[in-house]
Homo-oligomer: A and B are copies of this chain.
Amino acid sequence: MHEELRVKGERAREASYKLTTVATEVKNNALLAMADALEDNEEKILEANMQDMEAGRVRGMNKSLLDRLMLSSARIKDMAQGLRTLVSISDPVGEIESMWKGAQDIEIGKMRVPLGVIGIIYEARPNVTVDAAGLCLKTGNAVILRGSSDALRSNCAITNIIAKAAESAGAPGGSIQLIETSGREIALEMMKLNQYLDVLIPRGGAGLIQSVVTNATVPVIETGIGNCHVYVDSWAKLDDAEEIIVNAKTQRPAVCNAAESLLVHEAVAQEFLPSVGKRFRELGVELRGCSRTRELLCEAKQATEEDYATEFLDLILSVKVVDSLEEAMAHIHKYGTKHSEAIITENYTNARQFLQGVDAAAVYVNASTRFTDGFQFGFGAEIGISTQKLHARGPMGLKELTTVKYIIYGNGQSRK
């Protein structure tokens, strides 16, 4: 095993053991100290970031990657503010979810506890360093961060500053650590670090996530892609339907909860499609439709099988006219990625059938898929949106960074 992984793994284990019983107040004080330290050390961070940016330019990193990598005074303030926001969110650790009597009247309670040590593997976005460290600390987890080597100088500077600040405010040493060795080998080894890591969360694009899912033996929480649909039923209020699909497609097209596909019941297609088509034309959205769509919207291109399966993350929308609710649901079953799906309808039975029958992290009646988000759901913070079914599904708040343990109060009981 790589020496850095062993040393930091051991340290993280020790820190996590101590973190279990650190008071909420101490964790909050540490978050505030981290926020202050970021702002106080702005210059150091910007200096390190400038070096990363310079090296990136020399290596020919593209503009959007450079933009993600770049820090500024305002971005550092945002990161600090993010930490301060975590203070006001209630600490899930120690919560007893329920308590009941088991065999021989032993009293059994289900208590929320930290996961332990969390590994985060991410790309060249230094803000993830702060965000992940804050979320893990608030939930009593030690964290081992592994960012892209493109952001190594920025991440080192940030980690040194926040880890020191957290420790000075009472957090155990080793609560926040960064892997500084570059290269694919150590990343692969980290994915198999079962003896130190309780869970691994990749944060980044599809390639990174796929690599982690394929290579990790540590349990992974997968955050993934969203090929989201809006189905306009024959019973839809068409005005609402138009607002919702326009919002779901265009309000922020590059995110996973944006809609990629519009399904329209044939009974309303003739009325609905020309009107919504006009809106999309004005907004610069390219439409790719089935032949029935194209009869009503001559500007739409012919949609291919692949179009229906694609998460465009762009101002492109696939469109299909369907004969029934069942056909819409079958289409979603075939092409969807189980992220967010919506039906627009006033029909009670159709709404229920869609809610129950569609398998996705979030299923909507008469609202935009764009609401699939920790803040919109009221969780106060978001780790990401899980597209797997184990442990966490949909928007993940602080609670999803914890697990449970059973605590049992007896008075001398033995098993019969």
Residues of A near any B CB (own CB < 8 A): 17, 20-21, 94, 100-103, 106, 108, 113, 115-116, 194, 198-199, 213-214, 217, 219-221, 237, 240, 243-244, 246-248, 251, 333, 353, 355-357, 359-368, 370-372, 375-378, 388-391, 393-395, 403-415
**A-B residue pairs in contact (CB < 8 Å), sample of 6:** A219-B219, A251-B415, A364-B410, A365-B408, A389-B403, A393-B404
Q: Are A364 and B113 touching (Cβ within 8 A)?
A: no
Measured between C-beta atoms, what is the minimum distance from A208 to chain B in Å? 15
* Copy count, this protein chain: 2
A410 to B214, CA, bound (A): 38
Measured between C-beta atoms, what is the minimum distance from A227 to chain B in Å? 15
Which residues in B have their C-beta under 8 angstroms from that of A404? Answer: 393-394
Q: Are A408 and B359 touching (Cβ within 8 A)?
A: no
Which residues in B have their C-beta under 8 angstroms from that of A390? Answer: 115, 198-199, 219, 221, 390-391, 403
The residue on B at minimum CB distance from A389 is B403
Top-10 shortest CB links A-B = A367-B410, A247-B414, A370-B415, A240-B412, A391-B391, A389-B403, A390-B391, A103-B376, A366-B410, A362-B406
Measured between C-beta atoms, what is the minimum distance from A207 to chain B in Å? 16
A407 to B391, CA, bound (A): 18
Q: Are A405 and B367 touching (Cβ within 8 A)?
A: no
Q: Are B194 and A213 touching (Cβ within 8 A)?
A: yes
Instruction: Among B20, B371, B414, B415, point to the contact of A413 (Cβ < 8 A).
Output: B371
The CB with the most chain B CB atoms within 10 A, among A20, A366, A410, is that of: A410
Q: Are B217 and A367 touching (Cβ within 8 A)?
A: no
Measured between C-beta atoms, what is the minimum distance from A317 to chain B in Å? 16
The residue on B at minimum CB distance from A364 is B408
The CB with the most chain B CB atoms within 10 A, among A102, A370, A389, is that of: A389
Q: Are B102 and A412 touching (Cβ within 8 A)?
A: no
Q: A103-B377, A362-B406, A366-B413 are in contact. List 14 more A-B contacts (CB 8 A).
A: A102-B377, A115-B389, A115-B390, A198-B389, A214-B217, A219-B389, A221-B390, A247-B415, A251-B414, A364-B408, A365-B409, A367-B409, A372-B406, A390-B390
Please judge, given known A-B contacts A103-B371, A106-B367, A377-B108, whether A412 and B244 are in contact too, CB under 8 Å. yes
A101 to B116, CA, bound (A): 31
Which residues in B have their C-beta under 8 angstroms from that of A365? Answer: 407-410
Which residues in B have their C-beta under 8 angstroms from that of A20? Answer: 356-357, 359
The CB with the most chain B CB atoms within 10 A, among A106, A353, A390, A391, is that of: A390
A198 to B116, CA, bound (A): 25
Q: Are B219 and A406 touching (Cβ within 8 A)?
A: no
Q: Are A394 and B405 touching (Cβ within 8 A)?
A: yes
Measured between C-beta atoms, what is the minimum distance from A94 to chain B in Å? 7
Instruction: Among B115, B333, B391, B409, point to the contact of A366 (Cβ < 8 A).
Output: B409
The CB with the most chain B CB atoms within 10 A, among A237, A361, A366, is that of: A366
Q: Are A17 and B333 touching (Cβ within 8 A)?
A: yes
The CB with the most chain B CB atoms within 10 A, among A240, A363, A376, is that of: A376
